[in-house]
């Protein structure tokens, strides 16, 4: 391997030069799809272009992306539990108070980001990530999902985002329209419903990814 | 040459740096970091090229793609870390089988 | 506005150079814990790059995930690998020179 | 005023270089982690300066999320990595 290190560097340098040439030869001024998006904004139900693209114009991407999140979680659960680091001590008073203050604030901020996503930067992914961080914080201070919530309630929460998105996507079908083709009059409400469920599902999925095992499993070795 | 192109070139640099690290280093955690850095480079190129409109607002489509990309990247990282821990539990070393242990 | 563009350029140049340097050090440093900390710092700097590229949505996602989740995930994985924080080397008897 | 904001942002960015030195030198893991936290704090300050510069509400949201979540990595470090290590009382 060591003898070929210079060859590898040379090839990667060539790749970098080629990619750089390709990027620099692109036109200096380009609007991309921005005029198309702005032209259709009045039909999207929201006023923020990125949210309109995420949940209306490119709804397929977002729907499948949430399925990818679930797949990653299934992958981790099928590993059968990860080795536990070490028995955790009780959180000290500082950490306990910090968590008691920070977790509600994080939940409020997640709600704010979700709400503001309709007209300004924000939305389901950012809100879900903040919610996931709140879940990670709780786990770090020794909190574990109660036994009775770990079975069906957890699973239903995890799939709720994809399920509600699919239902909303299928709603236009009986009216003779296409999958994910919302009525512009109701698009705003539908997007908010989809985003609300997606936020909770993304947050819980990210927190479960951090936990690293199916909580209904018997304690891993 | 303008600001977006500066960032696009940095993105290409990050991609190639990450690619180099992915090939050269044997420890799996380092490979995971390298893949993340490669992904960040790709995101940087996408977002930089979206801003070529000058004074106009940037193209929102690449932004939406990058946001989903960031969330997918973190979930893939979590899965990769889990697999790495399983490799370590099975072989005692967090390197790919058949690799030298350095 | 001459000074303004000059300052803006130097800001972008620092961010770009910092990104490349942090990525290089994160991959090349022999201590794994140091690599993780450098990677977290890389994520923070990347959020500034998104802001400069007028992508506040992406900056929000990066701030939430890069600052909160990735760091926690990597550190948890590092402890589960059994790597001592003091030296960055393995604690168990299969000593690996990292 | 605009010049001042951008100048301060560049200055804070240079300050990150000083933090970098701590991350690289160590010597203990806690030093590195605290330096990374300093990174986060400085990034919040830079974001707020840029928010004033561009008069953008969204950037204040980014700074808010940053400030809230920077603590999570530090807590993960304290809870998972630092507590219980044989040299946590180390005064090197």
CB–CB of A198/A131 below 8 Å? no
| pLDDT tens digits, one per residue of C68-95 | 788 889 988 888 887 655 444 444 433 3
pLDDT at residue A34 is higher than 70: yes
| Spacing of C-alpha C53 from chain mean position | 19
Is there a cis peptide before residue A36, judged by omega within 30 degrees of 0? no
CA distance readout (Å), A206 to A31, A129, D29: 35, 7, 26
Give the range with max mean pLDDT: A51-65, A74-88, A103-117, D25-39. Answer: A103-117
CATH architecture of the domain covering B3-91: Orthogonal Bundle (1.10)
Between A117-126, A196-205, B43-52, D37-46, the lowest mean confidence (pLDDT) is in A117-126
Residue A86 placed within a domain = no
* A27 band by pLDDT with thresholds 50, 70 and 90: confident
From the list C38, A84, A106, A213, the residue with the least C-alpha distance to D80 is: A84
Instruction: Enumerate residues 6+ apart whose C-beta is below 8 A from A148.
Output: none
Q: Is the pLDDT of residue A220 over 50?
A: no
CB C98 within 8 A of CB C88: yes
Residue D91 is predicted with a pLDDT of 41
> In chain C, whose CA is at the least distance from the CA of D88?
C86
Best mutation target, A62, A121, A131, to test chain C (most C CBs within 10 A) = A121
Q: How confident is the model at residue C1 (pLDDT cuts 50, 70, 90)?
A: low
pLDDT given for residue C81 in this prediction:
80
3-state secondary structure of D63: helix
C90 forms beta bridges with: C83
Give the closest residue to A119 by CA, choosing from A35, A41, A40, A17.
Answer: A41
For residue A182, give both structure tokens: 């919302």
Query: Given an 8 Å threshold on Cβ–Cβ distance, is A130 in contact with D83?
Result: no
Closest among D82, B98, A87, B20 to C78, alpha carbons compared: D82
Cβ(C60)–Cβ(A65) under 8 Å?
no
Query: In this structure, is residue D87 part of a structural domain?
Result: no
Q: Please list every residue in chain D whose beta carbon sits closer than 8 Å to the beta carbon of residue C8.
A: 6
Interface residue A37 vs chain C (CB under 8 A):
no
Residues 6+ apart with CB under 8 A from A132: A202, A203, A204, A205, A206, A207, A210, C64, C68, C69
Residue D14 lies in a domain: yes
Are B71 and A202 a contacting pair at CB < 8 A? yes
Name chain C contacts of A129, Cβ cutoff 8 Å: 61, 64-65, 68-69
Which residue ranges make up each domain of chain B? 3-91
Integer CA distances (angstroms), C69 to B71, B73, B78, D48, D73, in order: 10, 11, 10, 22, 7
| Cβ–Cβ gap A209/B72 under 8 Å | no
Assembly ipTM: 0.89
Angle at A202 between CA A200 and CA A203, to 5 degrees: 65
Contact partners, residue C39, CB within 8 Å, separation at least 6: B33, B36, B37, C22, C26, C70, C74
Q: Collect all residues of chain A within an 8 Å Cβ-Cβ radius of residue B37.
A: none
Per the listing, tokens 């942090």 go with C22
> What is the number of domains present in chain D?
1
Question: What would the pLDDT profile of A55-71 be if each residue is shown by its tens digit?
Answer: 888 888 888 989 999 99
Residue A16 within any structural domain of the chain: no
> Does C17 or C93 have the greater pLDDT score?
C17
Does residue A185 lie in a domain region?
Answer: yes
> Which residue, among C40, C43, C55, C60, would best test binding to A if mutated, counting the most A CBs under 10 Å from its CB?
C60
- DSSP assigned state of D28: S
Domain count for chain A, please give it: 1
User: Is any Cβ of chain A less than 8 angstroms from the Cβ of D55?
Assistant: no
Which chains pack against C, by 3+ Cβ pairs within 8 A?
A, B, D
Whether A138 has its CB under 8 Å from any CB of chain D: the answer is no
List pLDDT tens digits, range D24-48: 877 778 888 888 888 888 889 999 9
Residue D91 maps to a domain: no
Q: Establish if A17 belongs to a structural domain.
A: no
- Nearest CB to C80: which of A85, A123, A129? A85
Q: How far is C29 from chain B (nearest CA, A)?
A: 10
b vs e for C60-90, b when ≥16 Cβ sit within 10 Å of the residue's Cβ?
A: bbbbbbbbbbbbbbbbbbbbbbbbbbbebbb
Instruction: State the smallest CA–CA distance between residue C34 and chain D in angstroms.
Output: 7
Chains in contact with chain D (at least 3 beta-carbon pairs closer than 8 A) = A, C
Residues of C in contact with A49 (CB under 8 A): none
Each domain of chain C, given as residue ranges in start order, spans 2-80
The nearest CA of chain C is from the CA of D3 a distance in Å of 6
pLDDT at A59: 83
Top residue of A85, A141, A199, A209 to mutate, by most chain C CBs within 10 Å, is: A85
Residues with pLDDT less than 50, chain B: 102
C-alpha distance from B56 to closest chain C C-alpha (Å): 11
The whole domain housing D16 covers 2-82
Which residues in chain A have their CB less than 8 angstroms from residue D61's CB?
113, 116, 120-122
Return the half-sphere exposure (C-beta side, CA atoms, 13 A cut-off) of residue C1.
3
Cβ contact A102–D68 (<8 Å) = yes
How many residue pairs from chains C and D have C-beta atoms closer than 8 A? 125
Given an 8 Å threshold on Cβ–Cβ distance, is A210 in contact with C61? no
What is the domain extent for residue A171? 40-80+92-211
């Amino acid at each position: 391997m060591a003898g070929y290190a210079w060859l590898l560097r040379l090839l990667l340098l060539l790749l970098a030069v080629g990619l750089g040439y390709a990027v620099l030869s692109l036109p200096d001024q380009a609007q991309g799809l921005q005029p198309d998006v702005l032209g259709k904004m009045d039909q999207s139900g929201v006023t923020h272009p990125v949210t309109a693209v995420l949940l209306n114009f490119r709804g397929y991407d977002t729907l499948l992306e949430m399925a990818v999140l679930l797949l990653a979680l299934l992958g981790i659960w099928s590993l059968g539990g990860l080795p536990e680091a070490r028995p955790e001590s009780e959180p000290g008073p500082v950490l306990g108070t910090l968590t008691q203050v920070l977790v509600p604030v994080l939940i409020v901020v997640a709600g704010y980001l979700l709400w503001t996503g309709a007209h300004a930067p924000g939305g389901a992914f950012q809100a879900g990530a903040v919610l996931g961080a709140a879940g990670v914080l709780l786990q770090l201070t020794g909190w574990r999902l109660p036994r009775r919530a770990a079975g069906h309630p957890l699973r239903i929460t995890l799939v709720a985002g994809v399920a509600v998105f699919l239902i909303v996507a299928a709603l236009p079908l009986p009216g003779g329209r296409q999958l994910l083709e919302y009525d512009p009059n109701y698009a705003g409400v539908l997007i908010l419903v989809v985003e609300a469920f997606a936020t909770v599902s993304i947050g819980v999925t990210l927190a479960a990814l951090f936990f690293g095992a199916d909580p209904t499993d018997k304690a891993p070795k | 040459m303008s600001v977006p192109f500066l960032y696009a070139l940095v993105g290409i640099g990050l991609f190639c740096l990450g690619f180099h690290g992915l090939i050269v280093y044997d420890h799996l955690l380092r490979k995971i970091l390298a893949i993340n850095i490669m992904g960040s480079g790709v995101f940087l190129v996408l977002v930089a090229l979206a801003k070529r409109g000058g004074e106009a607002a940037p193209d929102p489509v690449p932004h939406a793609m990058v946001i989903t990309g960031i969330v997918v990247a973190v979930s893939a990282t979590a899965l990769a870390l889990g697999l790495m821990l399983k490799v370590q539990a099975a072989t005692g070393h967090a390197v790919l089988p058949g690799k030298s242990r350095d | 506005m001459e000074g303004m563009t000059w300052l803006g350029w130097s800001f972008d140049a620092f961010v770009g150079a910092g990104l490349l340097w942090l990525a290089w050090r994160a991959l090349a440093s022999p201590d794994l814990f140091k690599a993780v900390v450098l990677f977290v710092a890389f994520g923070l700097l990347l959020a500034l790059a998104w802001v400069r590229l007028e992508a506040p949505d992406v900056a929000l996602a990066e701030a939430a995930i890069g600052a909160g989740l990735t760091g926690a995930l990597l550190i948890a994985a590092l402890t589960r690998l059994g790597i001592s924080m003091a030296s960055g080397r393995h604690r168990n008897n299969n000593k690996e020179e990292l | 005023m605009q010049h001042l904001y951008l100048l301060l942002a560049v200055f804070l960015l240079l300050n990150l270089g000083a933090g970098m030195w701590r991350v690289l030198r160590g010597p203990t893991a806690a030093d590195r982690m605290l330096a990374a936290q300093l990174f986060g704090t400085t990034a919040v300050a830079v974001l707020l300066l840029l928010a004033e510069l561009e008069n953008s509400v969204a950037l204040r949201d980014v700074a808010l999320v940053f400030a809230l979540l920077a603590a999570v990595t530090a807590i993960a470090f304290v809870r998972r990595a630092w507590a219980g290590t044989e040299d946590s009382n180390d005064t090197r």
